[in-house]
Structure 1
Amino acid sequence: MNYWLIKSEPEKYSWEKFNKDGRTFWDGVRNYTARNNMRAMKEGDLAFFYHSNEGKEIVGIAKVVKEAYQDPTTDDTNWVVVEFSPVESLKKPVTLAQIKAEPMLSEIQLVRQGRLSVSAVKPEEFDKILEMSR
């Protein structure tokens, strides 16, 4: 299993809305590194759901339920979407400030490539963030 982090501005698409919808496709990604991460996702992989701009915190866990396919919002075949469903809310959101303060997370892509909307998370980083959320 691989682990990921997907970002959304809460005023555009919040964790609450995602839970209400029950499933969504992640569209609008127009960065090649983020796109390549989406292409690498496999059904069953887990992803942290991160509220960007407002909040700046990981609030929940999502699961890949359908692997990458052509983004229906564009005719450009360079871009893909992946479908997710919510798994669970974190007991306690983990903020960007907390992540930056944790030495074990100093190399996480969220910190190193802060503008990346879809990033990989190493298993030990995933476990550490889960621990921080309890």
Structure 2
Amino acid sequence: MPYWLMKSEPDELSIRDLQRLEQTRWDGVRNYQARNFLRSMQAGDLFFFYHSSCPEPGIAGIGRITTPQYPDPTALAPDSHYFDAKASADKNPWSAVDVAFAEAFKRIIPLAQLKSQSALVDLPLVQKGSRLSVMPVSAEHWNAILALR
């Protein structure tokens, strides 16, 4: 089963928000490589929920993909921050998936701690210049991160 890491700013959607909602749409991905990773997801895949652009960035918990990708409706909504004037109902280049809450960690695993782990040196998240909001995680990296919680 593939594993993923997906980033969200906690003031937009946090792991606690997902826990409260139980399930929601993951949308607004506007990077083509991240979008392609999103398109590779299948229902049942697990992902690390990463809090970004906040005082303590890090992995806050685990979510589960509940639907395969579908056209991102925010691209067609003029009042959305993620509106794309070039998108249409027939040709929408952006995708979304539905996600569900699986687990909130007792503490956030900070980015600094992730960077200090020799087992995670190849993890794209800790590599310089890696800013993707959606990325794959190998089974080895998945297990190494789980051991940190």
Work out the CA distance in 2 between the residues paired with 1:26 and 1:106.
28
Matched, 1:100 2:101: no
The equivalences for 1:46-65 within 5 A come to 46-54=46-54, 55-65=56-66
Matched, 1:10 2:25: no
How many residues end up aligned between the 2 structures?
133
Please provide the CA RMSD for this pair. 1.1
> What are the ranges of 5 or more consecutive residues in structure 2 without an aligned counterpart?
77-86
For residues 22-73 of structure 1, give each alpha carbon's deviation from its aligned partner in whole angstroms, at most 9, with x where no partner exists: 1111111000110010000011000000000112110110001011000011
> What are the ranges of 5 or more consecutive residues in structure 1 without an aligned counterpart?
none
For residues 2-27 of structure 1, give each alpha carbon's deviation from its aligned partner in whole angstroms, at most 9, with x where no partner exists: 00001111111111111111111111
In the other structure, the counterpart of 2:125 is: 110
**8 A contact 2:16–2:104 mirrored in 1:** no
Work out the CA distance in 1 between the residues paired with 2:32 and 2:96.
13
In the other structure, the counterpart of 1:80 is: 95
Work out the CA distance in 1 between the residues paired with 2:16 and 2:123.
25
Residue 92 of structure 1 deviates from its aligned partner by: 3.2
In the other structure, the counterpart of 2:28 is: 28
Greater strand share, structure number: 1
TM-score (norm 1): 0.95
Q: Structure 1 runs of 4+ off > 4 angstroms?
A: none
Higher-Rg structure is: 2
- Which amino acid is the alignment partner of residue 127 of structure 1? N
Work out the CA distance in 1 between the residues paired with 2:57 and 2:138.
20
